[in-house]
Structures are given as C-alpha cells and as structure tokens.
C-alpha cells in the first residue's frame, strides 16, 4: 500500500478528518442543549455522566481537528480520531441492534439529522480505519510540495461537501419516507 505514504494522500486524510471534526465540534457547541438531548437519547450512560460528556466531547473533537493540522501531533490526533469514530460506531450499532433507529445520530446539528442505521456504523468504521491508518503512517516517501498541499486540501473540501450533501439528501429522503411521500 505505497499510496498511504504519499504526502498527497496523508494531506487529504488529515484535512478531511480535520474538517469533519471541526464541523462536528462547531455545530455541537452552537447547539449544546440539543446535543445533550441527543446524548441522553442514546441511553448508553447514566444521566449524571451524559451532561459532562456532552459538554466535553465537542472540545475534544475540536482538539482532534487542530491536532490533525499540527505535524508533531498528527499521529496522536489521528489515533484519537480513529478511537472516537469507532466509539461512535459502537454507540450507533448498539442502538440499531436495540431497534432504536429513529433517533438522531448527533453527528452534526444545523438541520443535518440522520437516523441511525448500519450504514452509519459502516461509515464510522471506515472513517475510523482511515484515521488509524493515518496514525500509523511513519515514513512519507517524499516531501510534500505546494501542489500536494493545495490538491489535498481542495480534494478534502470537495469530499466534505459531497459527504454533507449526501447526508442532507438522505435526511430529506428519511423525512419524505416517514411522511408517506416516497413509495
């Protein structure tokens, strides 16, 4: 897997994950009460832990996003990102297995509501795996060029736009389906 040591690939992964975690943190910080309700709705922890967890998680996500942009911190931030994404996959998977699919995943606020599904579990496992691979990349094959940085960051921006758009379209489809507009 030689491509994993190419700086263009690692810059893309770093930028995409940083955008993902920064966006998630920002929206959770803007809608703290609503996010606390989402955490409680998962029913995976005692009530007395849910409030501190909901208060601290966005700051941890923001720290991960910043860490992915600072060279010495990248392996640690990527490992933290991978761990968080796999933890989220587990939390979603537990609720899907319980039959609790109609609740919001809590990933982003601002109208970006997603019901729980095995597809969300898979998405988080894939993203978490990518983050863990990034954490383990030790030897880059060559120095990053301005072209690598520009292309990697722009590709991450496009990928994030597609990611959010797909989620929004899926949310619209879920709403239409629950209102009986899709057959």
pLDDT of 1 over the 70 cut? no
Q: Tell me the per-residue pLDDT of 140-162, one tens digit each, with 9 for 90 and over.
A: 667 888 988 899 899 999 999 88
Domain ranges for the chain: 2-176
Q: Tell me the per-residue pLDDT of 79-98, one tens digit each, with 9 for 90 and over.
A: 999 999 999 999 999 999 99
pTM tops 0.95, yes or no: no
For residue 104, which phi and psi values (nearest 5 degrees)? -75, 140
- Closest C-alpha to 175, from 100, 93, 110, 112: 112
Q: Tell me the per-residue pLDDT of 167-183, one tens digit each, with 9 for 90 and over.
A: 777 665 555 555 655 54
């Amino acid at each position: 897997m030689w491509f994993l040591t190419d700086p263009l690939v690692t810059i893309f992964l770093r930028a995409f994950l940083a955008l993902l975690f920064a966006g998630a943190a920002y929206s959770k910080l803007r809608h703290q009460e609503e996010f606390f309700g989402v955490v409680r709705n998962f029913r995976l922890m005692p009530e007395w832990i849910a409030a501190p967890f909901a208060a601290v998680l966005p700051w941890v996500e923001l720290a991960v996003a910043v860490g992915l942009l600072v060279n010495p911190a990248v392996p640690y931030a990527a490992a933290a990102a991978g761990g968080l994404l796999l933890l989220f996959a587990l939390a979603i998977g537990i609720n899907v297995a319980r039959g609790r699919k109609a609740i919001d995943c809590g990933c982003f606020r601002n109208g970006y509501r997603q019901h729980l599904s095995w597809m969300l579990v898979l998405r988080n496992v894939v993203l978490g795996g990518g983050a863990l691979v990034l954490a383990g990349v030790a030897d880059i094959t060559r120095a990053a060029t301005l072209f690598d940085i520009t292309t990697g960051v722009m590709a991450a921006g496009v990928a994030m736009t597609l990611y959010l758009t797909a989620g929004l379209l899926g949310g619209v489809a879920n709403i239409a389906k629950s209102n009986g507009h899709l057959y």
